[in-house]
Amino acid sequence: MLLKRIVFICCVLIAQNGLAQEHPNLILTKQGVNDIKAQLGNVPLFDATLAQVKEKVDAQILKGIDVPVPKDMAGGYTHEQHKLNYLTMQEAGVLYQILGDEKYAIYVRDMLMEYAKMFPGLPRHPQERSYARGKLFWQCLNDSVWLVYTSQAYDCVYNFLSKKEVKYIEKNLFKPMADFLSVDTPQFFNRIHNHSTWGNVAVGMIALVMDDDALVDRALYGIKDLKLDAGKDNDGGDIFVEGQKAGFLANLEEPFSPDGYYTEGAYYQRYAMYPFMIFGEALQNVKPEVKPFEHKNGVLLKGVDALMNLTDKDGEFFALNDSQKGMSYYTASLVSALDIAYYYGDRDPSLLSIAQEQGRVQLDQTGLAVAMDIRDGKAKPFDKKSLLLTDGADGDQGAISILRSTKNDDLTLVGKNAAQGLSHGHYDKLSISLFHEGNEVLQDYGLARFVNIEQKNGGGYLKENKTWAKQTIAHNTIVQDETSHFGGKYDVGSLHHSDMYVFDVENPDVQISSAKEVNAYPGTVMQRTTVMLNNESFEQPVLLDLMQVNSDKKHQFDLPFYYLGQVISTSFDYEKYQTLSTLGKDHGYQHLWKEGSGRSTTGDAALTWRSHDTFFTLTTTADAEDDLIFGRIGANDPEYNLRPDPVLIVRKNTDSALFASVLETHGSYNSVSEFSENAFSSISKLSVLKSGVDYSAIQITMMNGDEFVFIMSNSEASKTQKHELKLNAKVYTWTGVSYFKKQ
């Protein structure tokens, strides 16, 4: 009894003096472990995840420990082995805590000892392709990811290790690695960039486990008083910008907008979300005074919500900027981010339905909470709505606008009216992409890269990413004189952003997003107004797309539509060529085959295609001298790095024009019953009533004779302003920025 009392007093003293930090406490906490143990067997989603992880780790333990000397690029053996190692160590650490079986701790310990033996003798990685070569991997980025995961494993087995082992591992592995990733590689550590976020978090996580305040400080605020001009990174991004802050908190402030949009786009946000959230959780556990989830008005939690919304019906991310198609919120980093956001946020029950679809949880107290609440029937549907996500640290650098249909099929428009997006940005001001029921209708090409496929440049970016995917002509937006926005110059593009003009989704049947771009082509103003329309005259939701261009002189303007599917019919005549040549020489035009072209004599041109057993018709206004060009991606593609997707380009030579288009979804085809329904457009005529700086107006005439007029006020966005406009001898009066009515 006396002995117990003494032990208790000692513990209290030690805790108060901070002489010994509790372990685990980085992600899993002691309390969390206790709660988990108490619930085991009664939380289906948690139990299922645990069983999967156990099976995986047990299989790895049977294989034995393999810590090879680093040699290969991504996709190669040593790269993949080190990747497997950090994933398995992290999971083995968790299993040790939850299941109490020492074999997991032994596995982590033995592997850490192997790394600690090898690390001091390691030079930088022999592959010389990175601006910041790592030691275990070809780039510091991957070394940092290794450390983010391994820190967690270390924390989980810390109490299992002898003092001697702790000392040996920290001295030979963790401390030198933390220095290597920071002070030894400042061009990697001290940037505003997703690479630096990983570096900051890696250093921060291990610092928290080692209880090294100076190192925590370096992670949070960067290396102080560093001055060097290191030029560009491998993606063409600036390494240092004068006066810029560094460290985790700066990386949290800069690239995230107040709405939680990450300026590089959803694909990189998804990647960055893991270090942000996991370090948020770690800080919350070890240094709650930093208040990571309250920083910048709770931007981390908003970021998770933004990401969930930056997806199509299937949960796949919109292909903004460099983005590999198919990535979705089912990815592991978003399982973790969602669980953490749920736990530290306001326990939004709609997140639970996504967690259910994800089918697994993070194996800590956050995942436990999610799994328990799902078990208890608290999940509600995650209802994706129309949404504006501002860009820029202060939210004043334009925005991503998302319009979602509210009746019948799911039609989703994404407008990129934002900033450049750092080094992963594309030159695609005011570009749009369109999704129907989770399928692409008008695609953004995404990136030109095969992530982790070694044969394709070691899984890294392909040269076609720069020569094609980033270029303006690869997007559904205006190209002037066959030159990309800002001349395709990163330095120039980075200075500017588009500006939102109107985003009004109050009326669910006439949702409007309109934005302007005045810098992409000096002397030219582009304004794009997109309207998501429900109207009983149409079978399905309809997109109106008004691209108003006004310039101080005459130019060639191309507006591409990257429709996906099989051409069914056109309303205009066109010629297909006997030999194919490229559409142009540069700025991405060299990658397009010119397959055919035509002109319309009726004032409009319609293209109907079929995709995923649904019909789509794009009707666009076209004068008799406008070219309607059929193109296909794939020229100057010596290694078949590009997808041979089709495009229809509307080309006008003018100083002012309204590219007005209506996109209908209609009908269906069933290849088993061979029934074809409603394969025809409902529109008989589309015409421009007004094209100008102040107003854009169109008239849609339906097959049944009905007429609709849409008018947009381009220079006065007030909701209360009265307008009166005479078009074709008829006077239209209305209040607010736009007019839409059946005539």
Cα–chain center distance at 675: 38
Contact flag: residue 496 with Mg ion (CB under 5 A): no
Instruction: Report yes or no: 431 and 479 within 8 Å, Cβ to Cβ.
Output: no
- The residue from 581, 704, 720, 733 that contacts a copy of itself (CB under 8 A) is 581
The structure tokens listed for 32 are 């969390």
Alpha carbon distance 150, 152 (integer Å): 5
- Which of helix, strand or coil describes residue 415? strand
657 residue type, one letter: A
The stretch among 190-198, 224-232, 462-470, 639-647 that binds a copy of itself (CB under 8 A) is 639-647
Contact flag: residue 327 with a copy of itself (CB under 8 A): yes
Helix (H) / strand (E) element for 45: namely helix 44-63
Helix (H) / strand (E) element for 30: namely helix 30-39
Contact flag: residue 272 with a copy of itself (CB under 8 A): no
Contact flag: residue 680 with a copy of itself (CB under 8 A): yes
Minimal CA–CA distance to 409: which of 566, 266, 615, 564? 615
Residues 6 or more apart in contact with residue 386 via CB below 8 angstroms: 402, 403, 404, 505, 511, 532
17 binds, among Ca ion, Mg ion, a copy of itself, none (CB under 5 to 8 A by kind): none
578 to 274, 352, 452, 584, 594: CA distances (angstroms): 52, 56, 39, 18, 11
The stretch among 187-195, 320-328, 382-390, 519-527 that binds a copy of itself (CB under 8 A) is 320-328
Buried b (16+ CB within 10 A) or exposed e, 44-68: ebbeebbeebbeebeebbeeeeebe
Length of the chain, please?
743
Which residue is it, tokens 């010629």?
Answer: 575
Contact flag: residue 582 with a copy of itself (CB under 8 A): yes
Whichever of 309 and 472 has its CB closer to Mg ion, that residue is 472
Alpha carbon distance 549, 517 (integer Å): 10
Site string for a copy of itself, 176-195 (x = CB under 8 A): --------------------
The stretch among 115-123, 252-260, 423-431, 454-462 that binds Mg ion (CB under 5 A) is 423-431
Residue 738: phi and psi, rounded to 5, are -140, 160
Which residues from 454-493 bind a copy of itself, rule CB under 8 A? Answer: 454-456, 459
Which residues from 395-414 bind Mg ion, rule CB under 5 A? Answer: 396
Whichever of 125 and 426 has its CB closer to Mg ion, that residue is 426
- Which of helix, strand or coil describes residue 685? strand
Q: How far apart are CB 601 and a copy of itself at their closest, in Å?
A: 19
Q: How far apart are CB 397 and Mg ion at their closest, in Å?
A: 6
The structure tokens listed for 476 are 């559904």
Q: How far apart are CB 420 and Mg ion at their closest, in Å?
A: 12
Measured N-to-C along each axis, helices 349-358 and 332-344 cross at an angle, to the nearest 10 degrees, of: 160
Alpha carbon distance 58, 88 (integer Å): 10
Residues 6 or more apart in contact with residue 521 via CB below 8 angstroms: 480, 483, 485, 551, 555
Alpha carbon distance 472, 136 (integer Å): 37
- The residue from 79, 82, 426, 555 that contacts Mg ion (CB under 5 A) is 426
Site string for a copy of itself, 590-629 (x = CB under 8 A): ---x-x------------x-x-------------------
Site string for Ca ion, 186-225 (x = CB under 5 A): ----------------------------------------
Alpha carbon distance 436, 442 (integer Å): 9
Cα atoms in the 13 Å half-sphere on the side-chain side of 736: 11
- The residue from 58, 114, 314, 706 that contacts Ca ion (CB under 5 A) is 314
Cα atoms in the 13 Å half-sphere on the side-chain side of 265: 27
235 binds, among Ca ion, Mg ion, a copy of itself, none (CB under 5 to 8 A by kind): Ca ion
The structure tokens listed for 393 are 């640290």
Whichever of 183 and 580 has its CB closer to a copy of itself, that residue is 580
- The residue from 16, 17, 578, 704 that contacts a copy of itself (CB under 8 A) is 578
The stretch among 94-102, 440-448, 456-464, 729-737 that binds Mg ion (CB under 5 A) is 440-448
Residue 167, judged by CB atoms within 10 A of its CB (0-12, 13-18, 19+), counts as: exposed
Contact flag: residue 453 with a copy of itself (CB under 8 A): yes
Q: How far apart are CB 456 and a copy of itself at their closest, in Å?
A: 7
Alpha carbon distance 681, 76 (integer Å): 51
Whichever of 39 and 582 has its CB closer to a copy of itself, that residue is 582
- The residue from 91, 238, 316, 504 that contacts Ca ion (CB under 5 A) is 316
Contact flag: residue 66 with a copy of itself (CB under 8 A): no
- The residue from 438, 459, 598, 603 that contacts Ca ion (CB under 5 A) is 438
Contact flag: residue 81 with a copy of itself (CB under 8 A): no
Contact flag: residue 569 with a copy of itself (CB under 8 A): yes
The structure tokens listed for 291 are 């208040």
The stretch among 426-434, 565-573, 622-630, 691-699 that binds Mg ion (CB under 5 A) is 426-434
Instruction: Report yes or no: 338 and 329 within 8 Å, Cβ to Cβ.
Output: yes
Instruction: Report yes or no: 584 and 590 within 8 Å, Cβ to Cβ.
Output: yes
Alpha carbon distance 115, 177 (integer Å): 11
Q: How far apart are CB 565 and a copy of itself at their closest, in Å?
A: 10
Whichever of 412 and 431 has its CB closer to Ca ion, that residue is 412
426 binds, among Mg ion, Ca ion, a copy of itself, none (CB under 5 to 8 A by kind): Mg ion
- The residue from 168, 330, 572, 734 that contacts a copy of itself (CB under 8 A) is 330
Total residues binding a copy of itself (CB under 8 A): 53
The neighbouring-strand residues paired with 514 are 502, 529
Which residue is it, tokens 């372990």?
Answer: 23
Whichever of 384 and 424 has its CB closer to Mg ion, that residue is 424
The stretch among 216-224, 448-456, 498-506, 714-722 that binds a copy of itself (CB under 8 A) is 448-456
Whichever of 249 and 310 has its CB closer to a copy of itself, that residue is 310
The stretch among 399-407, 529-537, 658-666, 669-677 that binds a copy of itself (CB under 8 A) is 669-677
Whichever of 314 and 539 has its CB closer to Ca ion, that residue is 314
Say if strands 411-417 and 399-404 run parallel, antiparallel, or are unpaired.
antiparallel
> Nearest to Mg ion by Cβ — which residue?
426
580 binds, among Ca ion, a copy of itself, Mg ion, none (CB under 5 to 8 A by kind): a copy of itself
Alpha-helical (H) ranges within 615-683 are none
The neighbouring-strand residues paired with 1 are none
Contact flag: residue 52 with a copy of itself (CB under 8 A): no
The neighbouring-strand residues paired with 517 are 526
34 residue type, one letter: N
Contact flag: residue 339 with Ca ion (CB under 5 A): no
Please spell the DSSP secondary structure of 308-359, one letter per residue. Answer: HHSB-TTSBBP--SS--TT-BTTSHHHHHHHHHHHHHTT--HHHHHHHHHHT
Instruction: Report yes or no: 227 and 297 within 8 Å, Cβ to Cβ.
Output: no
Whichever of 316 and 464 has its CB closer to Ca ion, that residue is 316
- The residue from 312, 339, 373, 545 that contacts Ca ion (CB under 5 A) is 312
Give me the active site residues, please. Answer: 268, 424
- The residue from 325, 347, 599, 612 that contacts a copy of itself (CB under 8 A) is 325
Whichever of 307 and 628 has its CB closer to Ca ion, that residue is 307
Binding site for a copy of itself (CB under 8 A): 75, 324-328, 330-332, 450-456, 459, 566-569, 575-576, 578-582, 593, 595, 608, 610, 630, 632, 634-640, 643-644, 646, 669, 671-676, 679-680
Q: Which residues bind Ca ion (CB under 5 A)?
A: 235, 312, 314, 316, 438
Query: Interface with Mg ion by CB under 5 A: which residues?
Result: 396, 426, 444
